[in-house]
Structure 1
Amino acid sequence: MEGCRDAKRGAAATAADDLPDDAVVEILSRVPVRSIHRFKCVSKRWRDLIADPLHRKRLPQTLEGFFCSDGGGFGWRFISLPGRSAPPVDPSFSFLTKLPGIENIKLLGSCNGLLLFEHGRKPDTAPAYAVCNPATGEWVAVPSAGCRSPDRLEERTELIFYPAVSPHFHLVHICHEHVKLEVRAYSSETRVWSDMVSQKSGWQDGGWKQWVNGGAMLRSTFRGAFVNGMLHLITFRSEYPWENQIVAVDIKGKTSSIIPWPDTSSCPLFVGQSQGRLHCVGRLDEWERKCLKWAGLSIWVLEDYDTGGWVLKHRVSFLKLFGQMSRYVYERYELAIHPDRNMIFLTELSNQKLMVYDMDNENLDAFHTLGHNYGSLIPYVPNFLNLVLTNEH
């Protein structure tokens, strides 16, 4: 039997090697990204075809690692995932030195291969932005959204990019004040910001009234997630009854739906996209007679987007992740999720390690030491397509 199986494998490998290069690349461009890495083992020729920079534009990409700021000032480094030999891009971003207010530059986030920076922020002025594709060296400057009220409670700018639908990117800027909500959207096609909601009478537009009048506020410390063509943001009600929600926003800054958080006993900390579905990680504490019995993370997946059907995917204790169950271990940490595998990435202030937790085999691995002055970690999935990212000079 073993001989038969070996013969079949040999015949399959021979048939694969008989295909011309263009046919192999065309086949590989149509398979899921997880299969690309497995197909490197078919033969040396397939491995070389997949690794060839000329073919990368046609092949699906996956998470390569994280951009990490130095914790203040200008400067970043790239942290590759285990098994990656070298950073796929140069993290110096030399073009940024040409931007005004370089001393206040900040990397805000990423979406499908593009990075979003803000710069020039001062107490009395609103920041401007820059969007770049580090894989191709393209970049474009974006003007300020204009929201600069000192009374703002929460403020954030999110990048939306969906290359399968359009080569243009969008920004959504949300500024929440005590008596006003400002939501502005920017398109790289029109190159202008549009006011969607700027006064109380406008709260009815796009469902914002339900969000603001319900006392909801953004969780500004956690980034949004782009899934199913929508940007998803974690909000919470600041008035009784306290309730956590996830708001879905389209590229024009209009709310499409408000998705209830399924677990009232836990607090959502992070939303992300993995394997085409929205995932949310929550912090869960279980008490017994005023004593902490269990503390950890719960990972949920939105299996049915239309009905809001959440499914509990996994639970892991802080004892497993951090070596202790004390509630103080999660005073500061960051979370990310692998876009194609059942893995979460996390950091914790005390040990300054970047760790990966595999939900399938429950294995925890600390693969990088961050140091004392590390800043935000921004996940990066390369995009080698030529995009519409050119400045007018």
Structure 2
Amino acid sequence: MPRPTRAPPSPHPHSESPAPKALRRRRRRHPSISGAAAAAIHPSPPLPPPSIHLRRCRRLPIPPKNRSQRSRRTVGMEEPMSRLTHDLMAEILSRVPYKSLCVCKCVCPAWRDLIADPESRKKIVQSLAGFFYHIPADSAESRGLAVNYADLSAFPWASVPRTYPRLPLPPDSADCFFTVKDSCDGLFLTRIGTGTPEPQSGYMVSNPTTGEYILLPHSGYAGNCCGSYLGFDSGVSTQEFHVFQFVMGWPDQDQDGVPPVVTGLNIYSSETGAWVAMEPKWDIQVSLCGGPLGVFSEGCLHLLIHLDGLAIVDAKGLKWRTIPVPNFIDPSFSGFIGKSAGQLFYINSDDSEEGYGSASFSTISVYVLSEGIYNQDASYLDDGCAHWILLHKLSDVIPKENFCLGWDLKVIGVHPHANIIFMADFNNNELLAYDLDHRESTAVHHIERTYLAHEQYFPYVPLLSSLRLATPS
């Protein structure tokens, strides 16, 4: 009688071969355990990779065996880039952020030469090259422009100007004195005063890179109590600049020792070539801080004001807004605002005012303003400074264990593309560059003590774009 045969086990649902013999032996040792329990105790072996069961598979490229084959293949990969024209490559690189542009210099000699080419640099983004700062008038030239230049082009994060920058002056200005009031994305705003019995003042906007300048018409304001600021964005295609003249005064003549408040505003547009006068429309009386410069961003001018605030007005005079800033010290003494990578920075100390000048007053806080602030309709925001984001809290900027911001150190600028802030060190008579990423300070320029205490520093970014200033003949 023939011996009965056992039916073969059912195949695995995801496998084309029967179960291994080792698995069948394990199942015989536990005849009383159900299939689900047995599977839990003795799980199935991992499935083989699907590529093993594929009858047809894509052949992988075989790496070249010798150097000649590799070189021919490399040439084939670079061929599409080599077909691009010089102007097209410059147009592509002009859209690359500054940090990535520095990396592009290391790709090949052709890219390095293209980025360094003067004609290409007119389109490519430029970085900080140095600072202009005021000096005592007795050491200035006869025309009365009392400024010096701190050259920082030797550092890797700086731009190298084609020529040594000089602020241009109009002819026949021997009887005039000039005061730099503001700088913005490569343009400089200078106030021109006359020494006549009836003093008059006007404004000039100039480009030190090209030597061009334009004399603005008179604003109609004949007084001397005003604040002047420049608004310009080199990244906007319109290439329009604005000049803001804030007229200030005292509503109550008996308020001695109280800073003046803004009573009027004149805005000049390079597109129309005319001034527009208007009254301030802030919800509160605004008193501008005299020391810090303004920041033009998102089409608006930002200014630090007394009572721990920031005042904002757009170039058309349509949007007026004030917001608080996160600090306990009057921003007119130690506060600073600047723009880097398209973001607005606020730098001050978070130490309490009771500890001002003591050992506890020795930190610097760096905040960035939330971009959503420009989408809100409220003219005054008081949300506990939730729109400010703390980026850094520094206590090791200088070797001195305890320092006072505004007394030992003064923030004078931020790098437009890198995480670097610039400070004047009053103890060592130096300008410092502090790297926020690596927490390192570097002395970048030596300056005399008399030039440090109360002077302003105006950042210089070479402007090589197609902006044309109508230079008078």
TM-score past 0.5 threshold: yes
Alignment counterpart, residue 275 of structure 2, candidates 193, 212, 218: 193
Q: Which residue of 2 aligns with 1:171?
A: 243
Alignment counterpart, residue 29 of structure 1, candidates 91, 94, 107: 94
| TM-score under structure 2 length normalisation | 0.69
Cα offsets for 1:178-204 (capped at 9, x unmatched): 02702111122332222112xxxxx5x
1:383 aligns with 2:446: no
Q: Are the equivalent residues in 2 in contact too, given 1:65–1:379 (CA < 8 A)?
A: yes
Partners of 2:363 and 2:221 in 1: CA distance: 38
1:167-316 counterparts in 2 under 5 A?
A: 167-179=239-251, 181-197=263-279, 203=280, 207-208=281-282, 210-212=283-285, 216-237=286-307, 244-261=308-325, 263-268=326-331, 269-286=335-352, 292-306=359-373, 309-316=387-394
Q: Which residue of 1 aligns with 2:15?
A: none
Mean Cα deviation higher: 361-370 or 60-69: 60-69
Alignment counterpart, residue 125 of structure 1, candidates 188, 199, 204: 199
Alignment counterpart, residue 346 of structure 1, candidates 411, 420, 423: 423
The residue matched to 2:183 in structure 1 has which SS? strand
Deviation at residue 55 of structure 1 after TM alignment: 0.7
Q: Are the equivalent residues in 1 in contact too, given 2:411–2:421 (CA < 8 A)?
A: no
Counterparts in 2 of 1:91 and 1:332: CA distance versus 1, 3 Å: same
Deviation at residue 159 of structure 1 after TM alignment: 0.6
The amino acid across from 1:69 in the alignment is H
Instruction: Calculate percent identity across the aligned residue pairs.
Output: 29
Deviation at residue 230 of structure 1 after TM alignment: 0.8
Q: Which residue of 2 aligns with 1:240?
A: none
Q: Are the equivalent residues in 2 in contact too, given 1:247–1:255 (CA < 8 A)?
A: no
Mean Cα deviation higher: 343-352 or 248-257: 248-257
Cα offsets for 1:78-127 (capped at 9, x unmatched): 4224245854443333534543643x211222112211111216696352
1:158 aligns with 2:229: yes
What number of residue pairs does the alignment pair up? 365
The residue matched to 1:285 in structure 2 has which SS? coil
1:135-146 counterparts in 2 under 5 A?
A: 135-146=209-220
The amino acid across from 1:196 in the alignment is M
Q: Which residue of 2 aligns with 1:70?
A: 135
Aligned-residue Cα RMSD (Å) equals 3.2
Cα offsets for 1:186-240 (capped at 9, x unmatched): 122332222112xxxxx5xxx33x131xxx3110111011111111001123xxx
Cα offsets for 1:233-268 (capped at 9, x unmatched): 01123xxxxxx111111113454321221x243544
Q: Are the equivalent residues in 1 in contact too, given 2:168–2:211 (CA < 8 A)?
A: no
Partners of 1:33 and 1:175 in 2: CA distance: 38
The residue matched to 2:296 in structure 1 has which SS? strand
Cα offsets for 1:51-79 (capped at 9, x unmatched): 00011122122222212333434343242
Partners of 1:363 and 1:124 in 2: CA distance: 52
| TM-score under structure 1 length normalisation | 0.82
The amino acid across from 2:394 in the alignment is V
Counterparts in 2 of 1:139 and 1:313: CA distance versus 1, 3 Å: same
Counterparts in 2 of 1:12 and 1:360: CA distance versus 1, 3 Å: farther
Counterparts in 2 of 1:293 and 1:125: CA distance versus 1, 3 Å: same
The amino acid across from 1:157 in the alignment is S
The amino acid across from 1:112 in the alignment is D
The amino acid across from 1:265 in the alignment is F
Cα offsets for 1:251-290 (capped at 9, x unmatched): 13454321221x2435441111111111111123258999
Counterparts in 2 of 1:181 and 1:97: CA distance versus 1, 3 Å: same
Deviation at residue 17 of structure 1 after TM alignment: 5.8
1:336 aligns with 2:401: no
Partners of 1:379 and 1:178 in 2: CA distance: 32
1:147 aligns with 2:221: yes
Which runs of 5 or more residues in structure 2 are unaligned?
1-62, 65-69, 252-261, 377-385
Deviation at residue 36 of structure 1 after TM alignment: 1.0
Deviation at residue 346 of structure 1 after TM alignment: 0.7
Which is strand-richer, 1 or 2? Answer: 1
The amino acid across from 2:186 in the alignment is G
Cα offsets for 1:3-58 (capped at 9, x unmatched): 99xx89x7898457634333422321221122111100001110000000011122
Q: Are the equivalent residues in 1 in contact too, given 2:397–2:434 (CA < 8 A)?
A: no
Instruction: Give 1 or 2 for the bigger CA radius of gyration.
Output: 2
Q: Which of 1 and 2 has higher RCO (CA within 8 Å, sep 6+)?
A: 1
Deviation at residue 382 of structure 1 after TM alignment: 1.7
1:115 aligns with 2:115: no
The residue matched to 2:284 in structure 1 has which SS? helix
Partners of 2:399 and 2:171 in 1: CA distance: 39
Alignment counterpart, residue 439 of structure 2, candidates 362, 368, 375: 362
Deviation at residue 173 of structure 1 after TM alignment: 0.4
Counterparts in 2 of 1:27 and 1:357: CA distance versus 1, 3 Å: same
Q: Are the equivalent residues in 2 in contact too, given 1:285–1:292 (CA < 8 A)?
A: no
Q: Are the equivalent residues in 2 in contact too, given 1:245–1:260 (CA < 8 A)?
A: yes
Partners of 1:347 and 1:78 in 2: CA distance: 12
Partners of 2:123 and 2:161 in 1: CA distance: 20
Partners of 1:188 and 1:361 in 2: CA distance: 42
Q: Are the equivalent residues in 2 in contact too, given 1:231–1:249 (CA < 8 A)?
A: yes
Q: Which residue of 2 aligns with 1:241?
A: none
Partners of 1:297 and 1:88 in 2: CA distance: 36
Which runs of 5 or more residues in structure 1 are unaligned?
198-202, 238-243
